[in-house]
Structure 1
């Protein structure tokens, strides 16, 4: 299965904020939507990503005043992305090797979705359950 197939099942609603927003706006949206990261966009192109970790790290280093700063002061600008054609295994490898939990999906340079570690785990659990049922059926027909 590939990223595009998973997006079609989960939906490709994108929660994003535009460049120029504040760290507080990011923190507020992360809390309201109960999500771990938000892509920062410039039009329909991704220019950064901001995670809960980034917010916490910024507060720990610079204090609460960082919340009024522009998101560009804390966001990750070198964003690791995937495409709809990437397999779930390629995505898992990328997340594991780079120690990231959220990967924006980009198609022709445009942000088209977001994959989280939760999406990956959910897919793998569903796949394992289906394989388990297939094996039970195979054995039962034996």
Structure 2
């Protein structure tokens, strides 16, 4: 299965924030949407970075509660891992494991096409595995009836 299947199931809406907004505003976005990371985009939609819960926790650890008033670009991770809708789930799982990242921006032809998380990937893998199991059960059942 491919990343495109994940986007088809979950949609391609991406919650984003501008780099000059505050960490407090980003925390509010994360909370209201029940997500673990937000892409940092400029006004033209270019990716500047990603801000995750981990980035915020590291910021609080280093700066205390004052971090909430800082700009998003002060804490964001500037190098956003990316994948294509045509990448396989297996490849994406490998990238996430190797690079210890929980989110990948999905880009196609240089444009943002979505954002996937490790949870999205695991859910798709479970769907694929269940489909394989049901297919094999059907095959075995047919063979047993012959």
Structure 2 stretches lacking a partner, 5+ long:
none
The structure 1 segments of at least 4 consecutive aligned residues displaced by more than 4 Å after TM superposition are: none
Worse-matched range after superposition: 64-73 or 103-112: 103-112
Q: What is the TM-score normalised by the length of structure 1? A: 0.95
1:38 aligns with 2:34: no
Paired residues for 1:52-63 under 5 Å: 52-63=53-64
User: How far is 1:111 from its partner?
Assistant: 1.7
Alpha carbons 1:46, 1:110 under 8 Å: kept? no
Q: Verify the 8 A CA contact 2:18 2:72 in the aligned structure 1.
A: no
Larger Rg belongs to: 2
Size of the aligned set, in residue pairs, is 142
Q: Give 1:66's aligned residue.
A: 67
Query: How far 1:140 sits from its partner (Å)?
Result: 1.1
Give the CA deviation at 1:28: 1.1
In 2, the alpha carbon distance for the partners of 1:12 and 1:32 equals: 18
- Cα distance in 1 for residues equivalent to 2:107 and 2:22: 24
Q: CA RMSD in A?
A: 1.0
Aligned positions of 1:25-104 closer than 5 A: 25-42=25-42, 43-104=44-105
Structure 1: 5+ residue stretches without partners: none
User: 1:63 aligns to what SS in structure 2?
Assistant: helix
CA deviation after TM superposition for structure 1 residue 6, in Å: 1.9
Shift of 1:27: 0.9
